[in-house]
Structure 1
């Protein structure tokens, strides 16, 4: 997905002081999708596309227009987080990032302590842009390190080396108050001892937040084709479970417990934007393929943007926005979505969230006999603190949810 990274420079932006949104206030976020990458990673099924040339002025204008349309459906909201995702947002000009943030502040009430995150690749060319992003208003950088081993990086199709990743982390600390980085594990041939050594190397970098993802085979990826041909063999389920458990233990002992299945952070350093998703708050989705959840006229709506970049751009220029659909979310759909997202969190779903979304507690809206069975099997806990999956339940979350809702 070494040498230690130096501490934050005194010139870095100050960290926002406010803690993540309270459990009964999930916050209101804005997600901006930049769909372009220099190359397509073989494991990636995100809406990302390789283009030799991008008309930056057209794309900047389109993103600003799309924001205006979303604002018309979410007036008087206070924005607590902005997240530039992709694709590779670090390929965006800093001027575009600044224009988007300025437009958000004009259209909504942008909190003074809002978390503003940008995803970046740690290549040397993109790291040179960090100072510009910081000046534009970004105060949290999420680096796609993915591995600290050059052979693993080549296997994952990454364009940076481990040395470049370390240099990018150093430069990021000089420009941003908050930093996160990603690692991918359960790679072919990766045993427990090797992964623990790599994790130890990662911890020497002094992170406040790490996202750790098990390598999975996704539909339509190059890895799926190789897997079907028998050229790619991942660790079996038992081995992957052992890696997951060891990861959780090692990071918890290092002071970065899991607050979500794949995300570990020091106290107070959780990603506020993602917490808005997991706590089932409202958020705007801007850009090709972006999804949103917005409440207007007392009804939560699921918004979806046109997925393909060029048709999305044409659509915005013709009609003023890229929305492909905006459908009311039924109570049943809200229950499913809230539980699927909320059970990913270590703290689970507080009673207030059920009241906020559905007007009743978990025992009233979920099948009591199934809750009881999952509780007896040590997979779920239901009490006055709400509903949450145990460590064993989070490890088997897909099966748990399938049982709960079918």
Structure 2
């Protein structure tokens, strides 16, 4: 099969966590110490089942996320990597990422030996009150030690931080982010705290026990984040992601943002694949047992698939691509749906939110915090 525009990657979802964080609305389960060997077997079989449908393609990235996949043993991670390579194919220099909690830092060297080339560390905060609020189990010292251990392996290292936390002042965030930028790593993912429906945080806000970040303050904190990162040599290549240089950018997430193809493997995983000239969305059963049964019965864990029409593909291209500093390929958008709404585009350019060249449509610094609203306007 020819190369897919936007690249091709593999996402593997491990749903278990030692504890469920109060802000999280992902498909996760509390790990109560049971034997999850059947699920691991099902994920390996799902990789083969999907490969039978799409063929061997050669993935530029494998991302093992969750949940907390660093709860797995290194031999299990090695098995997943080997299964992906054998069934679907991995490029020789493929980026192989593992999401990790700092509590699992003693296994980092063994994960690297198993084939992991990039650690994505869920620090989330560098202040004790922030860690307590976010329900994290590690201390500040343990988080910093995790960064050191990951870096010592020679793999690439990225850390996640959540800002805009209830009670966090502007100066608190300035100090915390400045410390993170001085850690000697190459990549940071910096997310404003969002209150997701159905989470403990959403219930706390509804009861008046916690305050959600308002739009004005969110914009101020976002501007400060961009200012500090730019000054430290970490430009934002995506709205929430910063890299010291191009090679440190998340190769896997770029597949999403550039609307490439990826297979989603594991409970609740989503995928986008090109089949017979069309683009298909896949979604696996969220429940681990239901997922494993589906794999045993049908070869794949998909609960549903959907053939996407040109309008839906264009909408995803715009929503994801406008998050990138490079913007959306204008010719690709035009080929899908005729391109953006011309009147809206002209107005957004005049207002200073969008830049349009012959090749791309991208957001200005003023437009980036409004990415979703701007995408909706351009798709109207």
Give the alignment's TM-score, normalised by structure 1. Answer: 0.90
CA distance in 2, matches of 1:387, 1:27: 20
- Superposed counterparts of 1:114-153, under 5 Å: 114-123=94-103, 126-153=104-131
- Say which SS state the counterpart of residue 189 (structure 1) adopts: coil
Provide the rounded CA distance (Å) in 2 between the counterparts of 1:323 and 1:216.
29
Question: Is 1:181–2:159 an aligned residue pair?
Answer: yes
Q: CA deviation at 1:352?
A: 5.2
- Which one of the candidate residues 364, 367, 379 is aligned to 1:390? 364
2:377 corresponds to: 403
Alignment RMSD (CA, Å): 1.6
Q: Check conservation: 1:291, 1:304, Cα contact below 8 A.
A: yes
Q: 2:224 maps to what in 1?
A: 246
Partner of 2:313: 334
Shift of residue 397, structure 1, vs aligned partner: 1.6
For structure 1, the residue ranges without an aligned partner over 5 or more in a row are 1-22
1:295 and 1:301 map into 2 onto residues whose CA distance is 6
Offset, 1:237: 1.6
| Cα distance between partner residues in 1 of 2:264 and 2:206 | 34
1:378 pairs, out of 352, 358, 362, with 352
Deviation at 1:55, TM superposition (A): 2.3
Contact 1:24 1:352 in 2 (8 A): no
For residue 12 of structure 2, the aligned residue among 23, 29, 32 is 32
Q: Partner residue of 2:26?
A: 46
1:307 is matched with which residue?
286
In structure 1, the residue matched to 2:299 is: 320
Q: Is structure 2 residue 260 aligned with structure 1 residue 286?
A: no
CA distance in 2, matches of 1:129, 1:56: 19
CA distance, structure 2, for counterparts of residue 306 and residue 374 of structure 1 = 40
Give the Cα separation in 2 of the matches to 1:229 and 1:115.
44
> CA separation in 2, counterparts of 1:301 and 1:236?
37
After TM superposition, the structure 1 stretch with the greater mean CA deviation from structure 2, 48-57 or 136-145, is 48-57
Q: 1:165 to 1:376 in 2, by over 3 A?
A: same
Query: TM-score by structure 2 length?
Result: 0.96
Given that residues 97 and 116 in structure 2 are in contact (C-alpha distance below 8 angstroms), is that contact kept between their aligned partners in structure 1?
Answer: yes
Secondary structure at the aligned position of 2:366 is classed as: helix
TM superposition shift of 1:354: 3.2
Structure 1 counterpart SS, 2:102:
coil
Q: Which residue of 321, 326, 331 maps to 1:347?
A: 326
How far does residue 60 in structure 1 lie from its aligned partner after superposition? 1.8
Structure 1's consecutive aligned runs of 4 or more residues displaced over 3 angstroms after TM superposition are: 351-355
Aligned counterparts of 1:54 and 1:35: Cα–Cα separation in 2: 13
1:81 and 1:272 in contact (8 A); partners too: yes
Query: Unpaired runs of 5+ in structure 2?
Result: none
- Give, in angstroms, the shift of residue 405 of structure 1: 2.9
Indicate the SS of the match to 1:373.
helix
Which has the larger displacement, 326-335 or 230-239?
A: 230-239
1: CA distance, partners of 2:295 / 2:154: 33
2:206 to 203, 212, 228: 228
Given that residues 141 and 176 in structure 1 are in contact (C-alpha distance below 8 angstroms), is that contact kept between their aligned partners in structure 2? no
1:351-370 aligned at under 5 Å gives the runs: 351=330, 353-354=332-333, 358=335, 364-370=338-344
SS of the counterpart of 2:54?
Answer: coil
Q: C-alpha displacement at 1:91, in angstroms? A: 0.7
SS in 2 for 1:73: helix
2:37 paired with 1:57: yes
Counterpart Cα distance in 1 of 2:111 and 2:233? 29
Counterpart in 2 of 1:216? 194
Matched with 1:170 is 148
Q: Secondary structure at the match of 2:328?
A: coil
1:206 aligns with 2:184: yes
Q: Distance in 2 between matches of 1:359 and 1:313?
A: 36
